[in-house]
Amino acid sequence: MRPPAPLLLQAVVAPSEDRAVISAAEQLVSSLNRAWPSPAWRADVAFERPGKHIRPLQGATALLLSLLTEAEHADEPISRTAARWNAIIQSLGTTNVPVYVLTIFRHVPDRARDGRPTQLLERIRMLNRMAIDLSHGHGLGVIDIDRAFSHLGAQRLKTDWRMGGSTATEAAGHVMAWSLLSHGLDHAVDPGVQQKARNSLGSIRDIDAVISGRLLRHLVGGAKK
């Protein structure tokens, strides 16, 4: 059997999310290779920064679109943001590449003195709701970072909405890989192989073991260099 074509993740994300996408590609490949070890799977990542013009790359397996940079524009009315994103999605035209929108973790360290949500937190909440609307309106997938991270907790992940830290990086990579294996790779990977790979990857309940193992491998690998 010939080696399968390399998977290509096209990631239009903030710089702080780059490592998480790389982790997703690594976890995706590791789980596929455990499910179907020969011939070996490969995955590449093509990074772009958010903007008005996005074009799916030829051969892309999935297109990942992040909302993270939109959190910084708290003064922009959400209606204007939504209109801009609807235009971006419509500009993609008809594509066979599965498109995913990444939500934002709703953890903001600073709180308003009166206890009410800050402008930033309210902005993140509106953006996450917008992601669901985009999914319903255009048939996009949603990689719900917020839901998974809320389940795990900011203290456990040692991060906030900006996605910093190695633990958060590995957890976000797991969420992306799980989402892709759940409903995003049928055009590139046999569904039975996806199921086996997803079982191998483990659920969010097993994330502590997944993160510990990956961080240890990175530590050992770095020490050998």
Section 13-19 average pLDDT: 96
User: What pLDDT score does 217 carry?
Assistant: 64
pLDDT at residue 3 above 60?
no
> How high does pLDDT run on average in the chain?
89
The distance between the two most distant Cα atoms of the chain, rounded to a whole number of Å, is: 64
Q: At what angle do helices 145-152 and 166-183 cross, to 10 degrees?
A: 130
Section 50-63 average pLDDT: 90
Section 76-104 average pLDDT: 94
User: What pLDDT score does 112 carry?
Assistant: 58
User: What pLDDT score does 215 carry?
Assistant: 66
User: What pLDDT score does 114 carry?
Assistant: 62
Confidence of residue 115 (pLDDT cuts 50, 70, 90): low
Spatial separation of the C-alpha atoms in residues 50 and 67, rounded to whole Å? 8
Section 201-208 average pLDDT: 79
212 or 196: which leads in pLDDT: 196
CB 55 within 8 A of CB 17: no
Residue 7 Cα distances to 75, 114, 174, angstroms: 38, 49, 16
Section 93-100 average pLDDT: 88
Edge-first strand order for the sheet with 62-66 is: 43-48, 7-12, 62-66, 99-102, 141-143
Predicted TM-score (pTM) of the model is 0.90
Selected from 3.40.50.1110, 2.60.40.720, 3.40.50.300, 3.40.30.10, the CATH number assigned to the domain covering 7-224 reads 3.40.50.1110
Tell me the domain boundaries of the chain: 7-224
Confidence of residue 225 (pLDDT cuts 50, 70, 90): very low
